[in-house]
């Protein structure tokens, strides 16, 4: 019977040859912590606040020191400023060893945009799915700005589009050395700076563009901008 | 004694399997259903392996379809606008209705043979049957019901607890389960039993009259390019020359693609059951099929996106009369009266 218990414990426990990695997310604006109702400035001089900030992450992969690419089981995460739990992502199934890079997609790959009703983080109840023009909102930033041309001075950036000329998924690759051992789960702290949405290669002026809520060129350019929003903070 | 551990392990593995399958797919004890489809049809586009039809899933979908609680003030169900006797279009109503007397901007499309359809809505903006209901449920001028509130509402309802458990094995209500059940019910809406179908299948004693045969001829020459047999649509979006209406300001598929080449393109509707599903066009502007014929004959708007297949079409009075006769053979009474789709009266 002893052998049986040993067998069962092996079955229950994670396989000895692989481990997990934890990614945590901190949101900032111009290198300051993101806070509700706090005023920030764009590089163009517009004042703004952020009331909603959320985005999908998917298609994680890791590059080990031998340039082998390791892909954990496909999972989708909705990271949201208003949910502390959402800002911690656990990825399992990494072989023990040294790694040098993490790569992931901001958004939801096209297949999950066109294969019907989804569950979990992709459940449309989270308001990240367009009903009139099917497809996920890959990332959403809402707020206010005196420069906004909307009557309520709001900012409404819903970035999406998964097909044809307007695809808004963006791949991110970050250099981050970490070691997965049988004893320790590495934690990688990533920072997402929301100011990049408006300050990148395509500067956004709120008096001209106070929001964008369809697939289109502006969405593509903002996605280009925010594809640079992540950086590695600490590596424990 | 030696065998015992094996049994324990096997039981444990089954237990693990049970955990891993929990919440996915049909529950235990469901009755699987296979659609009876004519052999001549192509394979459905709908992937039934991801949503196998079950008696219990279809029953849940039908209940949801006729439940006004899916709307904000519990006044409008899917079946409110999609009426079976109008082939699940809206009899005599040019535009969709909504809660609090609100009015939509487009006419209610008929519902049948949806499992071959690649996209949905008049502009083809919705890409999957599962998620199509999300549009009318959440639209402000239709059912105006936020999805998260709807799921909470269904969770608290005892009848739904039973129905979800029967279909999926547990009482858990999720939007995915709700949408898949609705899709199951809609997938069963199949219409291939019109007189036209009997003629095609060479059912003894059934034939077109001379007028109908003349109409079929005209149809094949002038209509079948877009309204392709056997579905009587090619499921594409086209500009059929219908004049732009400044009141409605609806430019069709251009809103979806941001492409001026899609100006005034709307989905080609099936002509099956066309005689019971007036009014016609995306905004229901024509109450009579002869107004539609007249539009094609001399009422088209000129424009670069008007489909070459309809440009300059002429329909003589004789052709129009015969077409009318032929279109009547596309009415599927069996479908319109099939008890499996009949309204469920929900009073709670």
Which pLDDT tens digits describe chain B residue by residue (348 residues)? Answer: 344 444 544 444 444 444 444 456 898 999 999 999 999 999 999 999 999 999 999 999 999 999 999 999 999 999 999 999 999 999 999 999 899 999 999 999 999 999 999 999 999 999 999 999 999 999 999 999 999 999 999 999 999 999 999 999 999 999 999 999 999 999 999 999 999 999 999 999 999 999 999 999 999 999 999 999 999 999 999 999 999 999 999 999 999 998 999 999 999 999 999 999 999 999 999 999 999 999 999 999 999 999 999 999 999 999 999 999 999 999 999 999 999 999 999 988
The Cβ of residue B19 has, within 10 Å, a number of other Cβ atoms equal to 9
The DSSP element (H or E) to which B151 belongs, if any, is: helix B147-155
Interface of A with B in 145-204 (CB under 8 A): 164, 166
CB contact under 8 A, A123 and B176: yes
CB contact under 8 A, B258 and A166: yes
- For CA atoms B56, B57, B60, B65, the dihedral sign is negative
CB contact under 8 A, B258 and A215: yes
| Test the A interface: residue of B96, B133, B134 with most A CBs within 10 Å | B134
Over the Cα atoms of chain A, what is R_g? 20
Closest B-chain CA to A118: B176
CB contact under 8 A, B183 and A116: yes
CB contact under 8 A, A117 and B148: no
| Test the B interface: residue of A133, A217, A218 with most B CBs within 10 Å | A133
Residue with token string 């049994």: B7
CB contact under 8 A, A117 and B256: no
The Cβ of residue B60 has, within 10 Å, a number of other Cβ atoms equal to 26
ipTM of the complex: 0.85
Whole-model pTM above 0.95?
no
Cα distance between residue B130 and residue B112, in whole Å: 14
């Amino acid at each position: 019977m002893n052998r049986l218990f040993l067998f069962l414990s092996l079955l229950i426990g994670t396989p000895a040859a692989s481990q997990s990695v934890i990614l945590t997310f901190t949101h900032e604006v111009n290198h300051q912590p993101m806070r509700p109702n706090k005023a920030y400035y764009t590089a163009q001089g517009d004042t703004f606040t952020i009331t909603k900030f959320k985005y999908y992450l998917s298609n994680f992969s890791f590059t080990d020191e031998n340039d082998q690419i390791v892909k954990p089981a496909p999972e989708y995460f909705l990271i949201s400023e208003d949910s502390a739990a959402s800002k911690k992502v656990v990825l399992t199934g990494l072989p023990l060893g040294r790694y040098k890079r993490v790569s992931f997609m901001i958004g939801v790959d096209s297949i999950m945009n066109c294969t019907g009703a989804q569950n979990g983080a992709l459940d449309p109840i989270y308001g990240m799915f367009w009903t009139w023009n099917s497809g996920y909102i890959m990332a959403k930033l809402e707020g206010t700005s005196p420069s906004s041309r909307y009557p309520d001075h709001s900012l409404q950036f819903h970035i999406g589009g998964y097909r044809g000329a307007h695809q808004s998924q963006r791949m991110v690759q970050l250099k981050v050395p970490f070691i997965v051992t049988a004893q320790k789960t590495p934690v990688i702290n990533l920072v997402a700076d929301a100011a990049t949405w408006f300050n990148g290669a395509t500067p956004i002026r709120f008096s001209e563009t106070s929001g964008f809520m369809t697939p289109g060129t502006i969405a593509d350019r903002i996605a280009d901008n925010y594809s640079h929003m992540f950086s590695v903070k600490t590596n424990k | 004694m030696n065998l015992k551990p094996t049994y324990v392990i096997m039981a444990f593995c089954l237990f693990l399997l049970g955990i891993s399958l929990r919440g996915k797919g049909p529950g235990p004890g469901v009755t699987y259903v296979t659609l009876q489809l004519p052999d001549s049809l192509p394979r459905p586009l709908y992937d039934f392996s991801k949503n196998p039809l079950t008696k219990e899933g279809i029953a849940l979908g039908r209940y949801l379809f006729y439940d006004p609680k899916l709307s904000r003030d519990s006044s409008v169900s899917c079946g409110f606008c999609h009426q079976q006797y109008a082939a699940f279009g809206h009899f005599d109503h040019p535009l969709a209705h909504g809660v609090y007397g609100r009015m939509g901007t487009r006419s209610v499309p008929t519902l049948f043979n949806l499992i071959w359809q690649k996209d949905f809505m008049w502009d083809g903006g919705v890409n999957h049957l599962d998620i199509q209901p999300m549009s009318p449920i959440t639209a402000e001028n239709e059912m105006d019901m936020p999805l998260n509130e709807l799921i909470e509402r269904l969770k608290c309802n005892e009848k739904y607890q039973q129905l979800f458990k029967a279909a999926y094995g547990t009482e858990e209500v999720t939007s995915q389960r709700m949408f898949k059940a609705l899709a199951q019910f809609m997938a069963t809406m199949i219409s291939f039993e019109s007189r036209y179908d009997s003629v095609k299948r060479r059912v003894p004693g059934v034939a077109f009259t001379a007028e109908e045969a003349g109409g079929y001829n005209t149809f094949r020459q002038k209509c079948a390019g877009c309204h392709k047999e056997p579905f009587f649509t090619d499921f594409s979006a086209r500009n059929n020359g219908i004049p732009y209406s400044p009141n409605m300001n609806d430019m069709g598929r251009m809103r979806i693609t941001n492409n001026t080449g899609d100006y005034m393109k709307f989905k080609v509707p099936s002509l099956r059951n066309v005689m019971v599903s007036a009014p016609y066009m995306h905004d229901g502007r024509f109450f009579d099929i002869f107004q539609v014929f007249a539009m094609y004959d001399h009422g088209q708007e000129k424009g670069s996106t008007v489909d070459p297949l309809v440009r300059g079409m002429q329909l003589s009075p004789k052709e129009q009369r015969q077409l009318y006769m032929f279109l009547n053979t596309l009415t599927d009474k069996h479908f319109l009266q099939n008890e499996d789709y009949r309204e469920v009266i929900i009073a709670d």
